[in-house]
Structure 1
Amino acid sequence: MGNFSLDPGQQARCAEVRDLARQHLAPLAEKGEQGRVNRPLVAELGRLGLLDRLFTSGALDLCLMRESLAQVSTEAETALALQGLGAHPVHAHGTEAQRARWLPEVRAGRAVAAFALSEPGAGSDAAALELRATRQGRGAVSISGSAAGRDRSRRDPHPPTPQKWLLSGEKTWISNAPEADFYTVFARTGDPGTRAGGVTAFLVPADRPGLTGAPLDMLSPHPIGTLTFDDVPVTADDVLGEPGAGFRVAMNTLNLFRPSVGAFAVGMARAALDATLAHTARREAFGGPLKDLQTVAHQVADMALRVESARLMVYAAASAYDEGADGVPRRAAMAKLLATETAQHVIDTAVQLHGARALRRGHLLEHLYREVRAPRIYEGASEVQRAIIARELYKEETR
């Protein structure tokens, strides 16, 4: 892996993304309704080609996009990230038919995707899912379009009926719910005792009968809701990956996106640092600018140190993912943990140095203060990241 100094091309792309965010995305973000999917914003992300890059570039480029967007517009950043999180399982594990149906729509910003993993009793412990997929009939699983399926059809004039299930249960804390056009849903197809081994991933269009949802009023301004599955029908054609291998689909997706959550946090922290540098340079107090007070200058220096440390760890984790290096789960967990905890500290310090003005509704730091809290919880809380890091370290020790 390199030294994580961005080359001129990467620097130019980051600057381009920030410019696009200022000129095209931030104005649309400001017109959106808090807690609702901003479809004009998603469509503009598609028109600008940013959604397409979710599927044509690696983890480091994803981090650079998210960091750059977050410095200008957290709403635009989150809209892009949620499209990637919901649609990446289709890109990486979907059938040719699934990808052909949904990915062009996601790339163009016409279809909104969502990643439906968490449940009322299965948040941090994702393997404890209770959403049930009850098998209907005894037909064998069919893999649409596969050579094996075509050969079997030639041999047998009465091929088996495709496997069918009914989904029953609830999902909650789902970003983009209940307004998404399709959901990557993780359900239990095996015995609960099998935990991770009994989970299957399904692609569930929002118009399936029995699927309903409701929005949740959250501190974080992006859309989050619940989903209720009342015997929602799915078949083998809706399976992402293999039956019983859904937990692997979920973890592979999170290993890619956890470093980029860290990049989102770094972008927010950088925006807070930039605002603090400007404020302390011009704000007069005690006979001079705030920056001349040693206690202020040292806090700003500490903010910059923490932001740079988190940025480097995020880039290291993303590069490890792109290179297929060892220890990706550990590196991804470290990056998310350090960056989100760092951003919380940096933004809190920025608020303190700005004083009461930063608490006014509509101030940049008031917005960031609300935004920064959620990433320490979603896609695995900080405590979960520590557990992953420890588990991976001891696993490496016993090899």
Structure 2
Amino acid sequence: MIVRSEIKKLKEQAIQIRRMLHAIPEEGFREIQTGKKIREILHSLGWDTKIIADTGISCLIPGENTHKTIAFRADMDGLSISEQTNVDFASSHPNMMHACGHDGHMTMLLLFAAYLKQENIKPKNNILLLFQPAEEGPGGAKTIVDEGILKSNNVEKIFGCHIMPDLEEGAIATRKGPMMAQTGEIYIEITGESAHGAAPHQGVDAIVAAAQLILALQTIVSRNVDPINTALITIGTMTGGERVNVIAGNVRLGGTMRAYEETTYDHMKMRVIQVTEGIAQATGCKIQVRFIDMYPPVSNPKDMFEMFTGLLGSDEWQEAKPLMIAEDFSFYQKEVPGLFFYLGSKNEKKGFIHGLHDSRFNFDESILLHGVEVYARILDEEGVSR
């Protein structure tokens, strides 16, 4: 991608800001130090800020048309991971790490704010920079939407970016329609009746019921979901039993459920309940199911996709593969039109090959200039004056 010279000038700031933020990762809704640093940088540029969603920050850059706003979002929180990058700017907080690129996402927005200031750019429409807490959970985007931040600022569209180590360094990727999955968690408690393992007829075996249930749940995707629609149910945890010679009276299961279409997701929930009720009746166990609905699917609207890809040369973007991971940017897309895209960070020669949420995840700050260039092109499309 061709990055304009005005943005190339920001490389040293990119390194300085990203590494400073990388060293202070914090849990969702506890991004106190992070928020303080962000406000300091924005205030030094002359931009005003507001606290949102407990520890988040908004920065409204006024445009000529004060009744229309374009928003850009970056997530702030780190992960409970012990860093193993061995870099001199590694996390100073024990068992916390920016292993998902959020330090880079924040840096891009701060560089974008610096670009607007240094070039004395007056946007046609307001620009709202959103520094969002708790993307990793429980979902700070929903809190921002529920607080009415988008409505009170007249936001008409929103853009988000995520660093992606599966893509080559500096690559831009997006897609029309579903890009990330809707996700939820399933918690199942199976209650039988304990008995001696030598007298199974005197008990009700919760482990046998759990085994039947796990196998039956796998048929939901293979037999109840349209093969055209991608979905999955994974049972990831199973705990139960006391001794090898005792019939288990209680088993707990935990899993995840994902789909690209909300109707598919809702249908799977209904079938989980029906299958569970059938296994309970067949085995004599009492089975309780609890769902925690997490994030909706990330899905890019056709018109925004066409506008976005039109800003890039044919050799400057690629079609992203749909992924079954989740992102709370989807809550914004349920409120206003929004487009999400990836920024590649993979570089085998530099050793930047580790995936998201890996304790060795790292990237070259030069890629952040590509993200800022994309933001600048979006702004150019909306209209600017100097």
Q: What TM-score, normalized by structure 1, do the two folds share?
A: 0.26
Q: What TM-score, normalized by structure 2, do the two folds share?
A: 0.27
- Between structures 1 and 2, the one with greater strand share: 2
